[in-house]
Structure formats: structure tokens, C-alpha cells
Chain A
Amino acid sequence: MPTLQDIALKTDGVDARLVSGHRMCAGCGIPAVVKTVLAASDKPVIVLNATGCLEVTSAVYPFTAWNTPWMHLTFENAAAVAAGVESAYKALKRRGRVEEDINILAVGGDGGTYDIGFQALSGALERRHKFMYLAYDNEGYMNTGNQRSGATPFGASTTTVPAGTASFGKAQWRKNLVEIAAAHRIPYVGQAAVHNTLDLYKKAEKGFKADGPAVLAVLQPCTTNWAYDPALTMQYSKLAVETNFWPLYEVENGVVHINVKPAKRRPVEDFLKGQSRFKHLFKTENQHLIAEMQQMIDDEWTRLVKLEETGVQL
């Protein structure tokens, strides 16, 4: 059973796999996600990084914050290159050119995962390459200034679906990456959030140990484009879980298991409050949208609980 102490000792210092001096925003949750996931690997890790916040801030020439083999890729092909690296590794191992066991981690933001890199991801999962795909989800194209993505939630105002007199922001509900990934019948899919370090670590461990591809979707509030005080990143992550907006669950060999069940579900307003992308929802004429959102969250949660209770294999 890992403790926060064990994880901290693995992520701290210049010999950790991700080091200080990167240029992510003050209060960004991505480093906490990535360092925890990297710490969960007991073998050397090769990181394949799709374009996104993490990539542009962690490797600004001539500096790199990576202390593990890392490759910068375009938006769409992180999973495809991970598949290639895994195949090359297998070929080299077969010929006796490498002996060491390694882990392969592809990392992308929600833009690079839910939208642009989706085809490559689906292909790599279908071919059952042994790698883990980590999607850090800040619910939009945040690196380029908050454009709508497939992960942007209902009602959010972005620069491409701005709220105003003619629109209330994004009119569609978000994609469910976990269930889409689980539909590939892969051994492990997990949904985690940045504030729950132990849960994230355990899921990453399971993902690395899985006998085949694994996918991990991690919520990571964006202080810059959700526009809240940078000190509150972990608080918003917590609220997302406590409101059931982002349930923490996993699908292991098709079986759903919910890791955290909030004793008392908090109203979704608690999560929406203080974020500039949702502030228009609090106007009187938009109150029904919050109710609609609450209904959707509750329906999704009921469905998830039913999936767990019945033990139906996804």
C-alpha cells in the first residue's frame, strides 16, 4: 500500500522523472498528475507526449524538464508513436538487443485525446499494444486560450462557443472517454482526479501492470481558463468529485468499480461557482440550464451505480 511519503520521495528532487523549471502556469495541476503517474512505474518509462500544455511548457528549447526518455509529437499521433515504440522495443528484445523491462506512457491533453488524437488512440487500443495512455483533462484547448473540445462540459463558455444573447455556451454534453476506451475491451481503464494522489497513483500502477493497453483519464482544473484563484486547483478537483461531476471509477477487465462514493452529493452549483466559463449560468434566465446539468449528472451517476451493482461487463 503506497503512502503519500513513498510517492513524495519518488517525485522529489533533480533525479525524479519530471523536474522543476518547467513553465506551466502557477497553480497548474498537470505536473502533479504527471509526476504521480511516472512515480507509479517501477521500471524505466518512455514518454510520448502529444502537443498540448504539457508539451509546450516542459520542453522549451534548450531546456527540458524530463529526466526520462521523452518524445515530442504532433497533436494526433501520440498513441500511434507509442504503438511504434512498443513494436520496436519488442523487436529489439526478441533479438536480444535490450533486456530490461520498460513501460511506455503516451500523454495527451483532452484536445489531443478526445478529438485530434482519437483515431490513433483507438487504433493502438484495438491492436492491443502494451502501453498506457494518460489523458490530462482540463476540458478544452487551454494552451491556445480556451477553445471548445470534446471534453468541454455542457454550458461552458469558450472562445469558440461563447455565451451571449444567442448562445449559452456549449450545448452538448461531454464525451465519456472511459467508456469509449472500455469498449475496446482493454484490460484497464481508469478515471482519476488530480487532488486524490493515492487513488491516481494506484490507478497508474494498475495501468502500467495491465496485460495490454490501459487508459487513464485525469481531471485537471485549469486555473488560467476556468479563471479562478490558482490556489484553488485541488479544491475544484475535489468539488468535481463531490458533486459527481467527475466520478472516480475504474473498469478492470470490463467490470466497473466506483472508487469514491460521496456520502452526500453536493449540488453542481458548488463546482460551477467561481469559474468564469460558467458565470453566465447564474443569470436568472439561465437557471434552468443548471437544473438540466444537475439532472444529467444525476442520471449519469445512477447509470454508473447500476453498472457497478449489476456487474455487467462493459
Chain B
Amino acid sequence: MSSKKSWHELEVGVVLPPATSVGYKTGGWRVFRPVWDASQCIHCMICVNYCPDMAIPIEKSEQGAVGKGGRVYKGAVRKETNFDYCKGCGICATECPSKCLTMIREEEAEQASCKL
């Protein structure tokens, strides 16, 4: 270095805009896919809090969602898994208290969706 720089003249390091990783889809890692049976769901939010990929979207719902036993669950309700990010670890299916999630092989899900 030819001349000493003071601290405010130093170059800023690499700075990234926030939350850009949402553009990076990790769903392709999946071997198993969680299949959600909404009619058995009690919207307890255990899977949402455990999901390592934040791949279970929820919403605050005034009218609620119909779940297990035909009951209407109000407050925070979960929706279908976001397969853009779900890596298929299966924590949700293991921990679900009402067993509304089952893991199937990804190719089975693919084949089922391609049936004519």
C-alpha cells in the first residue's frame, strides 16, 4: 500500500441484498415428498416450527380452515407444502401428532401427476 487509508476510506466488503436465497430452489434435493391430508390436519403449527426449510406456508385466517373431525381451525393455518424448497427430510411426517402427513417417493408423486 502506497498511502495509509483511514477507516472510512476503506472499501466495503461484499454486501448482498437481503433474502436473495429465495431465488435458489432447493426442492430438487428431494427424494421423498410429504403428502398432506388437509382433512386430518389440526393446524397445530408443530411442522411449521420444525421445518428446516421454512417450506410450509401459513396464513392468519379469520374464517379458518376445515381440518380433522370437520372442525374449523382458526388463527394460523397451514397450507400445502412449498415444493420449491422442501428437501424431503420427513421431520414433519415424523412429528405430526395427527398423522396427516405421509412420505412417498418423489418419482411416485411425479408419475401420479403425469397420468393421463
Contact = CB atoms under 8 A, between A and B. Distances in A.
Interface residues of B, number: 43
Contacts of A68: 18
B93 A9 contact: no
B26 to A, nearest CB: 6
A312 interface: no
A23 interface: yes
A57 to B, nearest CB: 10
Interface string A177-202: 00000000000000000010100000
A20 B18 contact: no
Interface stretch (B42-50, B63-71, B104-112): B42-50
Contact of A63 (B24, B30, B45, B50): B24
A5 B45 contact: yes
Contacts of A45: none
B38 interface: no
Interface in A1-47: 4-5, 7-9, 11-14, 16, 18-32, 35-36
Given A20-B55, A27-B90, A234-B94, A64 B19 contact: yes
B22 A233 contact: no
Interface string B71-110: 0000110000010110111110111000000010000000
A231 interface: yes
A7 B23 CA distance: 24
Given A67-B19, A68-B18, A20 B26 contact: yes
B54 A11 contact: yes
Contact of B22 (A19, A30, A229): A19
A96 interface: no
B91 A233 contact: yes
A12 B51 CA distance: 10
A124 to B, nearest CB: 21
Nearest to A27: B89
B93 to A, nearest CB: 7
Given A9-B60, A27-B52, A27-B91, A14 B19 contact: yes
A194 to B, nearest CB: 8
A176 interface: no
A120 interface: no
B109 to A, nearest CB: 16
A212 interface: no
A229 B103 CA distance: 13
A14 B17 CA distance: 13
A35 B14 CA distance: 24
A197 B103 CA distance: 23
Closest 8 CB pairs of A and B: A231-B90, A21-B21, A27-B89, A26-B87, A20-B85, A26-B89, A65-B21, A230-B89
Given A4-B44, A21-B21, 6 more contacts: A14-B22, A26-B30, A31-B51, A31-B54, A61-B14, A233-B91
19 contacts: A5-B76, A8-B58, A12-B54, A12-B56, A19-B22, A20-B53, A20-B82, A20-B85, A21-B22, A24-B52, A27-B52, A27-B90, A27-B91, A31-B54, A59-B16, A62-B20, A65-B19, A231-B90, A234-B95
Interface of B: 14, 16-26, 29-30, 44-46, 48-58, 60, 75-76, 82, 84-85, 87-91, 93-95, 103
